[in-house]
Amino acid sequence: MREGWDDEQLLAALRESLTAREAVPSWFVETGKNAYAWHNIDAELAQLTYDSSHDRNRAAVMRSEAASIRALTFTSARLSIELEVIEGRLLGQIIPPQAGTLETHTTTGVTTSPIDEIGAFVVDPKPASPFRLRFRAADGTDVLTGWITL
């Protein structure tokens, strides 16, 4: 440390640092610690490649009929997952179409939904934010989206 602080300043700075730490509730810290459970998950990551809420031109054109529908697309090397939020439900489609299982992971747990032969699925009601989806198929396909906040 440079020759900067005298004893009083150092004490005051120390007080400030300890007070800042004490102000933080333990649940807030636990939230951060729990996130590590997602480290090194062995699935292929699907990136968000389209989000209607980021697409202002489209929103301007379609404002009258479609402004309330949120559409998202996640893409990985082998497939994409298309999502729409309609009337409180999450409707999805795996492309190219294939059957499998969809896991909806929230910060409090996991639910599963079936995916039919044409790759369609419904999560009803839409999950609490943030959540992420994991698509698994019998052939070993395992694709995980990033965290989604609706």
Partner 1 sequence: MRDDPTVVALVTRAAGSDPGAWNEIVERYAPLLWSICTRFQLSTSDREDVAQNVWLLLVEQLGRLREPAALPGWLATTTHRECLRVVTAARKSEQGGTRQDDALLQFADDTVIEEEILMAERNAALRAAFAELPPRCQQLLAMLLSDPPHSYAAISATLDIPIGSIGPQRARCLERMRRSTALATLGEGEMKIDIPGGERRA
Per-residue mark of binding to partner 1, 89-108 (x: CB under 8 A): ------------------x-
5 is an interface residue for partner 1 by CB under 8 A: yes
Give the integer Cα–Cα distance in Å for 66 and 57: 13
Indicate whether 88 belongs to the interface with partner 1 (CB under 8 A): no
Pairing assessment for the beta strands 89-95 and 142-145 based on DSSP bridges:
unpaired
Residues whose CB is less than 8 angstroms from the CB of residue 3 and which lie 6 or more positions away in sequence, other chains included: none
Q: Is 62 in the site for partner 1 (CB under 8 A)?
A: no
Helix (H, G, I), strand (E, B) or coil at 75: strand
65 binds partner 1 (CB under 8 A): no
Binding mask 109-148 for partner 1 (x = CB under 8 A): --------------------xx---------------xx-
Q: Which of 109, 108, 100 is nearest to 81 (CA)?
A: 100
Segment near partner 1 (CB under 8 A); pick from 11-19, 71-79, 89-97, 118-126: 11-19
For position 38 contacting partner 1 by CB under 8 A, the verdict is: yes
Angle at 69 between CA 66 and CA 74, to 5 degrees: 125
Residue 124 CB, nearest approach to partner 1 (Å): 22
